[in-house]
Copies of this chain bind each other. A is one copy, B any other.
């Protein structure tokens, strides 16, 4: 009874296809060089049809960004593990897997490249991505502090230290050099070292935590890789 008419279903599917195509083409070519003909072709339809769904290139871009922002929010779940160290390790790996995905890097490049022209987009990206993850991490770290496992004055700085330690170098390199996405061994190296520094600086039981870190193994490569 709630089944939509075929026509409406098709409209929803086509809109979906257009937004996906827009993401691909904008990410590859940047806003200006991506043409509406290219995006229509990528979506498997024609430009006049595309214009029936989105009245202008700007509106398509904005809609695509809004959609992607919502998708981004879904990516940052918190893996559960046994113990703070295992949790930090699992999350570091999860975060790395998301952030270093080629499509995510392409999107980041797009946003950074357009940040001057579209300040709201940059702001929205920062709010839905990094700031959101940071807020979650701050809460997590404060819980660990309350449980006596960590000590720090400023939870925000501690959370930012963690990202800086585990992913700053590979991500920056990958942003500058698209071919330079690190392999899993390299990511492991950064994560492990970053967590060591973090635990040495903030843990109330550094020896025990470093030993726990030594026993952890990286997660299997995800199918999306």
Answer whether residue A84 sits at the interface, using C-beta atoms and an 8 A cutoff: no
List B contacts of A117 (CB < 8 A): 29-30, 33
A-B contact sample (4 more), CB < 8 A, given A126-B173, A160-B168, A161-B197: A30-B32, A125-B176, A154-B193, A168-B168
What is the count of identical protomers in the complex?
Answer: 2
Q: Report the separation of the CA atoms of residues A133 and B28 in the bound assembly, to the nearest whole angstrom.
A: 30
**Contact stretch, chosen from A53-61, A88-96, A104-112:** A104-112
User: A157 and B201 in contact (CB under 8 A), knowing A30-B113, A177-B126?
Assistant: no
User: A176 and B122 in contact (CB under 8 A), knowing A157-B189, A161-B193, A200-B201?
Assistant: yes
Answer whether residue A101 sits at the interface, using C-beta atoms and an 8 A cutoff: no
List B contacts of A157 (CB < 8 A): 189-190, 193
Is B169 in contact with A163, judged by CB distance below 8 angstroms? yes
**Partner of A115 from B109, B168, B189 at Cβ < 8 Å:** B109
Answer whether residue A224 sits at the interface, using C-beta atoms and an 8 A cutoff: no
List B contacts of A122 (CB < 8 A): 176-178
Answer whether residue A130 sits at the interface, using C-beta atoms and an 8 A cutoff: yes
Chain A 145-184, CB-CB to B under 8 Å as 1, else 0, gives 0000000001001001101110011001101111110000
